[in-house]
Amino acid sequence: MSDPDWRHLPSLSALRAFEAAARFASFSEAARVLNVTHAAVSQAVRGLEGELGTTLLRRDGRGLALTDDGERLARALRDGFGTIAGSIEALRGAEKGRGLRVTATPNFAQSVLLPRLGSFWRRHPDVAVSINPDYAVVDLARDGYDVGIRTGQGQWPGLRAEPVVRTRFILVGAPELVARDDDLTRLPWLLSSGDPQESTWLEAAGVDPGSLKVAGIDNPILAVSAALAGYGLLFSADVVATADLAAGRLVEVPFPGLPELTYWAVTLPGPRRPAVEAFVGWLRAQFAEKPSRN
């Protein structure tokens, strides 16, 4: 089959009007289905007949009847529109079954996203969500992710970034550990060897990192567990520690000069699938009226 020459095809609106009139044998019923006026359908069909140089429909009592040319065109349009409708339904069905792939930092995934995910599923029970906890910055298009949740300035070329929550870093520890000594330098610390900013914060506060008793735990999930067990003080994003602070499992320790940070929902540019739109909207709404602790 040769490719269609769109320049020489009648308008889609005229073809739709004729197909509907032919299917219902009525301009009035076609107008009702297409949500236009009787006159609009009649005019479109007559214009199509003029463009093609042949009669397609004729009056038959109180209804309409197809001519031979009209029958051939109606059959072709019925098959063509049916194929289009079937393909669109198949795409919509695939969209419903595809679900979402989300990548997020491990702490955010475990402490912030997972505890709230039930409320998303109550609203969208048919949307499967797969979460990949990883600090690595992935290529959303290449690696097949729908949403990335990351911290930064929100200016990534070729991506769409929307703020989810603005929070701050805080120092936390188990209550029993913090009560042991007012001098923080005599308490154990949980620091990451791969995060130089923690040393920068300590030095800015007049603390020599080399003088501290440090348990090096580079896995952020294990670091939180270690803090809960009382193994050391830990720098954490406020939003990540919220539940443990509220439950009294951790307490905030005053520490000067810690910065703020923003978590962003990052997606590819252009139109988004309904499931992606729903997830990003839901995620932002979780914090719309819940500012970080001060």
70-125, pLDDT tens digit by residue?
999 999 999 999 988 888 887 766 656 678 999 998 889 999 999 999 999 999 99
Q: Which of 96, 115, 136 is the last residue of a domain?
A: 96
In DSSP terms, which residues pair with 262 in a beta bridge?
166
For residue 238, pLDDT over 70 is answered with yes
For residue 135, give both structure tokens: 């600090």
Query: Which CATH number fits the domain that encloses residue 28?
Result: 1.10.10.10
Q: Are 229 and 154 in contact (CB under 8 A)?
A: no
Same domain, 117 and 48: no
Q: Which of 40, 45, 37 is nearest to 70 (CA)?
A: 45
Please give the tally of structural domains in the chain.
2
75 falls within a domain: yes
Q: Are 278 and 156 in contact (CB under 8 A)?
A: no
For residue 294, pLDDT over 50 is answered with no
* Integer Cα distance of 159 and 280 in angstroms: 14
1 falls within a domain: no
Per cent of the chain over pLDDT 70 is 95
Same domain, 143 and 227: yes
270 falls within a domain: yes
User: Domain of 147?
Assistant: 99-294
Same domain, 61 and 192: no
The residue whose two tokens read 């929070």 is 167
264 falls within a domain: yes
Same domain, 195 and 224: yes
For residue 287, give both structure tokens: 């914090």
* Integer Cα distance of 161 and 266 in angstroms: 4
* Integer Cα distance of 2 and 21 in angstroms: 28
Same domain, 230 and 135: yes
Find the helix or strand (DSSP H, E) in which 200 lies: helix 196-204
Q: Give per-residue pLDDT as tens, 122-174.
A: 999 989 999 999 888 889 999 999 999 999 999 999 999 999 999 999 999 99
Q: Are 291 and 260 in contact (CB under 8 A)?
A: no
The pLDDT score that the predictor gives to residue 8 is 83
Q: Which of 96, 113, 148 is the last residue of a domain?
A: 96
Same domain, 207 and 86: no
For residue 57, give both structure tokens: 């429909």
* Integer Cα distance of 14 and 80 in angstroms: 15
Strand 160-173 relative to strand 100-104, pairing: unpaired
Sign for the pseudo-dihedral over CA of 204, 206, 207, 210: positive
Q: Are 280 and 147 in contact (CB under 8 A)?
A: yes
Same domain, 104 and 237: yes
In DSSP terms, which residues pair with 148 in a beta bridge?
103, 266
Average pLDDT over residues 14-29: 94
How much is the mean pLDDT over the chain? 90
| Ramachandran quadrant class, 230 (left: phi over 0; alpha: psi -120 to 50; beta: rest) | left
List CB contacts of 79: < 8 A, sequence separation 6 or more. none
